[in-house]
Amino acid sequence: MEVWQSKLSLSEPYSVAYETFTQSEIIFLILHTDRDIKGFGCAAPDAHVTGETCQKILEVSKRVITPMITGSDPLRMARIMELLKKKLKDQPAARAMVDMALYDILGKRATLPVYKLLGGYRQSIKTSVTIGILPVAETLERALTFKKMGFKALKIKGGNHVESDIERVLKVREKTGKDMLLRFDANQGYTVQEALEFIDGVRSANLELIEQPTPGGKPHQLGRVTNEVNIPVMADESLLDLRDAFRLARREWVDMVNIKLMKCGGINEALHINSVARAGKLDVMVGCMDEAALGIAAGLHFALARPNVLYADLDGHLDLIDDPTAGTVLLKNGILYPTTQPGLGLVNLER
């Protein structure tokens, strides 16, 4: 087992309601087997969302993960991940890293892409691309650039100021035309009243959805917004694990959920959350952090395997400089495709 940390700069820094990002710190993992098959994984911790840091993941990799999986059968994935979940309950990105590498080994052993092993419902999916919090002029410039690149869906970040958010959304709709899909993510920045004010103010923009307008730790506030508006409300930071998914679905607090592998612990756990969402008639988006292309590939393979994963927001790799896993997913005109390689699609990974 090899594990190391990389700091990858972003070509364009961006801001959300609670932070400005200039780089992404990523942990890479290689699992070696006695059949000369290597499994590749990565973790993109977010202290604000899951409480994890790179230092914590490196520490548990040495103290917990290495002794637990050394000598194990990598094809007994369910057993390995269940044991890790008990030891690393509050370390979902660390678990996702291992889960990813195990699925990569399984796919390479079967000489099949992971999405086909999981069901292979579709072969590609449209992704949105994100515009951080910027002044109106810069927001419009980014929106038009992305439109020229072929993207059909834009996700606009906000949550700091309702009136400026309304202006930006309305201007983007005006400049990009009626066919561009617009999504808005407040990243927990609004009160219930502010969320309602925003949604009323952008009614003419015909938003496709609004993501996590209110604080993640108060999911009942999402329910209040959902009950008052006529556009889909999606949970992101309010959904960290399977129990969260059950609570949100049972109480009908949202219309949609955003499943991110780094939040929930990997593909295996995402499949369980997805089943709960389907039972609760909730639409599903697969999302991401600022992740290497390998992490995006894992999310993509999950999304391609299940019919009710209708939306994708898998753009976290696009601005990374010197990503050692670049090329693990293919992007054309806003559509994401897997490679034809087995596993998650990455042939080699070097430190």
Per-position DSSP letters for 167-230, written without gaps between them? HHHHHHHHHH-TTSEEEEE-TT---HHHHHHHHHHTGGG--SEEE--S-TT-HHHHHHHHHH-S
Residue 155 and residue 185 in contact, taking contact as beta carbons nearer than 8 Å? yes
Q: What is d(CA 19, CA 221) in angstroms, rounded to the nearest whole number?
A: 22
Per-residue CA distances from 228 to 195, 197, 221, 231, 233 (Å)? 10, 11, 11, 9, 10
Task: Indicate if the pLDDT at residue 329 is higher than 70.
Answer: yes
Round the average pLDDT of the chain to a whole number and report it.
95
pLDDT band at 49 (very low <50, low <70, confident <90, very high): confident
Token reading at 295: 């992490």
Question: Over the stretch 70-109, which tens digit does the pLDDT of each residue have?
Answer: 999 999 999 999 999 999 999 999 999 999 999 999 999 9
Percent of the chain with pLDDT over 90: 92
Q: What is d(CA 131, CA 157) in angstroms, rounded to the nearest whole number?
A: 6
Query: How deeply is 215 buried, as exposed, middle or buried, from its count of CB atoms within 10 A (0-12, 13-18, 19+)?
Result: middle
Token reading at 327: 């090329």
Output the pLDDT for position 138: 96
pLDDT band at 226 (very low <50, low <70, confident <90, very high): very high
pLDDT band at 18 (very low <50, low <70, confident <90, very high): low
Query: How deeply is 127 buried, as exposed, middle or buried, from its count of CB atoms within 10 A (0-12, 13-18, 19+)?
Result: buried
Beta-bridge mates of residue 309: 284
Q: What is d(CA 226, CA 102) in angstroms, rounded to the nearest whole number?
A: 38
Per-residue CA distances from 227 to 159, 198, 282 (Å)? 20, 15, 15
Task: Indicate if the pLDDT at residue 14 is higher than 90.
Answer: no
Q: What is d(CA 351, CA 336) in angstroms, rounded to the nearest whole number?
A: 26
Residue 208 and residue 181 in contact, taking contact as beta carbons nearer than 8 Å? yes
Task: Indicate if the pLDDT at residue 20 is higher than 80.
Answer: no
User: Diameter of the chain by CA atoms?
Assistant: 60
Residue 154 and residue 183 in contact, taking contact as beta carbons nearer than 8 Å? yes
pLDDT band at 298 (very low <50, low <70, confident <90, very high): very high
Output the pLDDT for position 19: 66
**Count of alpha carbons within 13 angstroms of residue 74, beta-carbon side:** 28
Output the pLDDT for position 10: 86
Question: Over the stretch 282-295, which tens digit does the pLDDT of each residue have?
Answer: 999 999 999 999 99
Q: Which domains can be identified in the chain, with CATH numbers?
A: 2-111 (3.30.390.10), 116-338 (3.20.20.120)
Please give the distance of CA 283 from its chain centroid, rounded to a whole number.
15
Residue 256 and residue 284 in contact, taking contact as beta carbons nearer than 8 Å? yes
Q: Choose between 18 and 298: higher pLDDT.
A: 298
233-235 and 256-259 beta bridge pairing: parallel
Question: Over the stretch 151-202, which tens digit does the pLDDT of each residue have?
Answer: 999 999 999 999 999 999 999 999 999 999 999 999 999 999 999 999 999 9
